[in-house]
Amino acid sequence: MVSLDALGVICTLGAGKAAVAEALFAGDDSGLRAETGWAPQRSLPLGAVRTTLTPIPSSLAARRDNRANQLILAAALEIEDDIRAAISLYGASRIGVVLGTSTTGIERTTRGIGVLREHGAWPADYRYADQELGAPAEFLAEWLNLSGPCYGISTACTSGARALISAQRLLDIGMCDAVLCGGVDTLARLPVNGFLALEALDAARCEPFSRHRRGINIGEAAALFLMTRESGKVQLLGSGASSDAYHMSSPDPQGIGAQHAMHAALEQAHLDAAQISYLNLHGTATEHNDRMESRAVAGVFPRGVPCSSSKSLTGHTLAAAGALEAAFCWLSLMDNAGRLPPHVWDGAADPELSPLSFTRVGDRLPASGPRRLMSNSFAFGGNNACLILGDAPGAAS
C-alpha cells in the first residue's frame, strides 16, 4: 500500500486541481469544441488544453521544447514544492520518474515530415528524440536533476494507469523512496487520423454507453502524482493488470481479461466488490468497448456500483487517460463534499448492454465509513489495468 501525496493536473477542464475539480463535478462539457485542421476537410470535437503553457526552461529548450513536455511541466509546477521537499528528504537518487505516453512530440515530427516533403530537408529544429517514448520522463528527471530510475511506459490507453502500477512496484521492492508517476499525451494529427481511419471518431460529443454512441472524441492532458510509502490522505490500495491478446484493436467481447484485472486489484487491496464506493469506467463510447465493459462490470459487481465515464467531458486522452481518471478519483476523495464525477450523456440507454448505475451531478461518496474508488483502463491489444484508490486508515469515519 502506497500513498499518493500530491497531484498536479491539466486537461481541457482546466489547469490545476481546483479548476479541474469544479468543472468535473459540475459535468461541464464545454471544453470539447469543434476544431478544424486536424483531419482533412473535417471539423471534430477535441478536448484541447487552451491555457497558455509555461515555456520550457531556457537551459533545456534546445533539446526538450515540445508540447508534451510543456504539459507535464505544467502538472509538475503545481506540486513543485512537494517534489522539492521529497528531493530534500530522500535525495535525488532515490526518486524515480515513470510516465505513460504514446504521442510525445509526434505532432512536431509530423510537421517536420511536411517540410521534408516540400523542401527535401528536415527543418532546423527537428529532433528525433521528441518522439521517443521515454522523452517526457527524461525531461522531468533532467529538469529536477533526479538520478533514480526513469522510463516511459507505452501500452496505449492503459499507459497512465500502468505507470502508477510500475511506480508502486519500485516502492515495494525498495528501489525508490518516492516516484513521480502519471501520464501525458497531446493532440496530434497522427492519432486523430488513425482513429478516423478506424471509423472510431464521433463527429459530435461522445455518448458513452448510449444506444446512439458512435465513437470517441480525442483530448490531451497531463496528470502527475508524487507517490511515496508515507501514510498520506489518499492511498493506492490495489492494482491489477491483464492481457486478453484477443485482437489488435478490439477487446475480448466476454470481458474476461477486464474482470481479471478488477479482481486482481480487489485481491491486492483485500476488498470485496461490495466495498467499492464508485467505479470510473473506461467508457470510450465505442461499440465494442462499452459492450465489453458493461458485461465485465456486471460480472464483478452483480449488485451494481455507482459509476461514470468522464470522456464526454475531457475526450479520450489516450496514454494520459489512466492517470487522469485516477486523478479524478483522487479529487473526489479530497473534496470536502465527496462529490463524484457525473456521467454526462444523452440518457438513451442501450437495451443490449448490461445495465449500469450511472452517477449524476450532485452525487456524492458515502458520508461515513471507508471510501474506496476503482478506475478501469483498457487498451489496444487487450491490455487491461485497474486501480483502487481510497482513504488512508483513520482518514474517514
Catalytically active residues are 157, 282, 316
Q: CA-to-CA distance for 24 and 339, rounded, in angstroms?
A: 10
Buried/exposed 359-373: b ≥16 CB within 10 Å, e otherwise: beeebbbeeeebbbb
Interatomic CA distance for residues 90 and 16, integer angstroms? 26
Residue of 292, 171, 284, 156 lying closest to 236 (CA atoms): 171
Contact call for residues 109 and 179 (beta carbons, < 8 A): no
Q: Write phi, then psi, for 14 (nearest 5 degrees).
A: 155, 180
Instruction: Dig out the grid coordinates for 175 from the structure.
Output: 528501489
Asked if 226 and 180 count as a contact pair (C-beta separation under 8 A), the reply is: yes
Q: Distance between CA 10 and CA 184 in Å, rounded?
A: 10
Q: Which helix (H) or strand (E) holds 197?
A: helix 189-197
Minimal CA–CA distance to 141: which of 167, 169, 180, 170?
A: 180
Cα atoms in the Cβ-side hemisphere of radius 13 Å centred on 333: 33
CA distance 383 to 158: 7
Q: How far is it, in rounded angstroms, from Cα 238 to Cα 268? A: 5
Length, in residues, of the chain: 397
Distance, C-alpha 205 to centroid of its chain:
19
Compute, in degrees rounded to 10, the torsion defined by CA atoms 243, 249, 251, 257.
0
Question: What number of other Cβ atoms are within 10 A of residue 63's Cβ?
Answer: 16
CB 354 within 8 A of CB 382: no
Helix (H, G, I), strand (E, B) or coil at 235: strand
Pick the closest to residue 159 from 108, 104, 199, 107 (CA basis). 104
C-alpha distances in angstroms, 272 versus 165, 190, 251, 258, 330?
20, 41, 25, 16, 20
C-alpha cell at 252: 475480448
